[in-house]
Amino acid sequence: MNRPLLIAPSVLSADFSRLGEEIAAVEDAGADWIHLDVMDGHFVPNITFGAPVIAMARPASRRHFDVHLMIAPADPFLEAFAAAGADTITVHAEAGPHLDRSLQAIRKLGKRAGVALNPATPVSAIQHVIDRLDLVLVMTVNPGFGGQAFIPAMVEKIRQVKALVGDRPVDIEVDGGITAETAGSVVAAGANVLVAGNAVFRGGASAYRGNIEAIRAVAELERGERA
Ligand code: DX5
Ligand code: ZN
């Protein structure tokens, strides 16, 4: 019943001038998924990259590409992100009026469908689309930037998402301020996919393995998978 624990480094904190190398380096250091943050300067107050960059980065790794769309509207671009090599495509519940339609479109493209919830968005936003979902992303900071402080009130929200998901095969992902210090509480509440930007990429390439392992150790301990 327990979903596998997955560590997903966010390349937002990588050196974009060497994106392919950075992705290969975190894969080599033990990353389970690669988390790619797409920002449009409209839905969130920052701009990153789009589908062409993801397509160029795709050959760098065979790991699952977890694409987090912080863009509005998202629907006109879903096909491009699918073609670029996304495995999971996550849209924000707040980004458009037709979440049900967006999720259907993602699955129709043959991709796993995710919904992200901003800190102020209630869990009820996904109640009626729960059977169209493969992943729920609980934002543990306000999206837009790496290196922000974890919002503790989100732990209770993760519990509520876990209760809603029940036995369905749905991943519960957390994103923002995840470190070896905060990983335990989110895993205890039910999260199984941990996104981490700063906490993975700090210290340069030689530190990536230790950084990932530090988060994994805390999470596995909490799950009773490590003594
Ligand atoms: C925030 C992004 C995150 C970000 C997390 O808007 O969605 O994926 O990279 O960065 P850290 O782990 O540094 O908070
Ligand atoms: Zn993200």
15 catalytic residue (yes or no):
no
Asked, for residue 29, whether it belongs to a domain, the answer is yes
Q: CB within 6 Å of ligand 1 — which residues?
A: 10, 12-13, 35, 37, 68, 141, 143-148, 175-178, 195-199
- 171 part of a folded domain: yes
1 inside domain: no
Q: Please tell me the predicted confidence (pLDDT) of residue 132.
A: 98
Domain assignment of residue 180, given as a range: 6-223
Residue 187 lies in a domain: yes
The residue-averaged pLDDT of 185-203 equals 98
Long-range contacts of 28-32, Cβ-Cβ distance < 8 Å, separation of 24 or more: 28/208, 28/209, 29/205, 29/208, 29/209, 29/211, 29/212, 30/209, 30/212, 30/213, 30/216, 31/7, 31/63, 31/200, 31/212, 32/4, 32/6, 32/7, 32/8, 32/63, 32/64
Is 90 part of a structural domain of the chain? yes
CATH of the domain at 162: 3.20.20.70
Share of the chain above pLDDT 90, in %: 99
How many domains are there within the chain? 1
pLDDT (average), residues 74-95: 99
- The predicted-structure confidence for 176-190, as pLDDT tens digits, reads as follows 999 999 999 999 999
Q: Which ligand is nearest to the CA of 177?
A: 1
Residue 1's pLDDT band (cuts 50, 70, 90): low
Is 25 domain-assigned?
Answer: yes
What is the per-residue pLDDT for 227? Answer: 85
